[in-house]
Structure 1
């Protein structure tokens, strides 16, 4: 309750201070005008009327703001909005002038005689002041509405990205389980120690994949840890047919990337480039920082293809990169028969806390 009262008093004091400042400027303007015409009078003849007029506006301002908040600009009703506020502005102008003359007449009886002249002379300026206050309220409402919509859109984008990441996890887990369990079942009797190590790696992989602290972005180091758990299972399954080369610059480890960025790229390289070849092949993962950007390359020396076919995984990766970084990112691919497949990702450099 005290905070509310303090806030209201602060607003009232600010409003009064603004109008008093305007009053001083108005008094100075009147004085300079009369001085230029050699008709200058003592300052009290300027300060008094200016202060009364502007203090009255300070009292009227909350009422005008309340009216402007009730009678709002709506689509298709602009003419009605303008005419309604014009009529209210005329009423406010007349009331302001009547009260002003009443107060000033307590000082000088001659002000009653000036009432018609004052009504005619102040009508336009008073209506303009009312219109400016209505415009301030209308513009503020429009900006607040725009900010709310932008905030809602940003929240929806974030929720969509998080849901997409969660969906990726949900897709990856059964896929890992299926392939890994098949590989483990083939080794349980012939190589039990190897099967045991694969089970341990599988547990680590599942733990990382369901980590609730992983948002839509994580550090490259965390993504490499996740990918390493996956690679351990593939290396156990493919044996000497799979070679993995890692070329990771130390400064790249703290850079942020979309969660689950690397694993699908590495999986594509193994499944489509290496696993189908009797002799196997090499997958190279490299990352470096240049020109305020993180550059990641996942390449294999497998069979390659005559043209690039962007499947669901790559299309999803491109969509997530665009949503997170806009035009500041890029994803390119190149391939050729017998020359493997290479994916290049560039994202703006931002380090994880």
Structure 2
């Protein structure tokens, strides 16, 4: 915090003006006085007080510049305090001398008033020391606030690094879980119908070429994830045939909304594995994405994966994929995001992901 600047000079000026005003009012003896005479005396005494105030301010600024040197950093607290008090006293003394000579400039035979001089130096030394003490408190408070802001920035940076590491670890668990199940389907198809298995492998290679980069990203968009799921379901249709049908519907304005990568494919893969695959007749998967208002009035994006499979008859919802999806949502968005599972009618499961739109916008790079 600098000492000799426009703000401090303005503060000294207003203090001197207040001091001069109080003096002019205190010396009013009830006799009528012309306004111009009263105003002249007010300006004159404000000027005189300002000379002392600026002298003290300049002396304090010089001492602060000295204390900022490396050699002064090693001085004891008592020595620093004594030097600061001496600077205020010197400033008050020089200011009083300046006031005397300015007030009596060009006049001869003026007697120096020692009583006025000593009392003025003592009064302004006291006022200067009090102001200096306030300045030290403000400076300490300013430094403490700076340290708190620095600690907060460092803490936020550490939390961001921890969150990134946590999300990366959870992604690393989901990726093999998703890929191994997909490759197992290719292997099974190769064992039953090699020609179709070969065609599916070609499609799978094209799919993975597009999918693998998104698995390594820390963020994605709803449009990218829907396209990934569309390719995935198309590949599964080659294996399941008429046992699998699907539909995808999403608000166009939500396609650019941020979405953690591999969340939607994990929900779809879970619906296939636990809902449709165990049924001889298979079933259908419907994917819907829309905006809605939460209970607190915050706009949310809801992404639903609905299947008409066997429902909660088996282990649906307890696997690694869904557990890590919940953990990722909690790590990225806190309590504002959730993964909900509920029974569909007449049968099946609805997996629904809710995320605040504000959080999604803040997560954007």
**Shift of the alpha carbon at 1:208?**
3.6
Q: Indicate the larger mover: 255-264 or 173-182.
A: 173-182
What's 1:333 paired with? 341
**Over aligned residue pairs, what C-alpha RMSD do you find?**
3.7
**Shift of the alpha carbon at 1:218?**
1.7
What's 2:106 paired with? none
TM-score, normalized by length of structure 1?
Answer: 0.76
Change (3 A) 1:66 1:290: farther
Q: Of residues 304, 326, 338 in structure 2, which corresponds to 1:297?
A: 304
Q: How many residues align?
A: 329
What's 1:148 paired with? 150
Is contact 1:273-1:303 (8 Å) kept? yes
- Per-residue deviation, residues 126-163 of structure 1 (Å, max 9, x unmatched): 44433333333333333333333333333333333433
Say which SS state the counterpart of residue 226 (structure 2) adopts.
Answer: helix
Change (3 A) 1:219 1:32: same
Is contact 1:221-1:253 (8 Å) kept? yes
Change (3 A) 1:96 1:124: closer
* 2:325 maps to 1:322: no
* 2:17 maps to 1:28: yes
| Structure 2 unaligned blocks of 5 or more | 29-40, 102-111, 294-298
* 2:274 maps to 1:266: no
Is contact 2:218-2:261 (8 Å) kept? yes
Greater Rg by CA: 2
CA distance in 1: counterparts of 2:144 and 2:48, whole angstroms: 42
Is contact 2:58-2:91 (8 Å) kept? no
**Shift of the alpha carbon at 1:252?**
1.7
**Shift of the alpha carbon at 1:92?**
1.3
Q: Indicate the larger mover: 194-203 or 170-179.
A: 170-179
Is contact 1:64-1:134 (8 Å) kept? no
Is contact 1:86-1:127 (8 Å) kept? no
TM-score, normalized by length of structure 2?
Answer: 0.74
Q: Of residues 93, 108, 118 in structure 1, which corresponds to 2:85?
A: 93
| Structure 1 unaligned blocks of 5 or more | 1-10, 72-83
CA distance in 2: counterparts of 1:31 and 1:103, whole angstroms: 16
**Shift of the alpha carbon at 1:38?**
3.0
**Shift of the alpha carbon at 1:288?**
0.7
What's 2:104 paired with? none
Is contact 1:65-1:134 (8 Å) kept? no
CA distance in 1: counterparts of 2:7 and 2:81, whole angstroms: 21
Q: Indicate the larger mover: 250-259 or 184-193.
A: 184-193
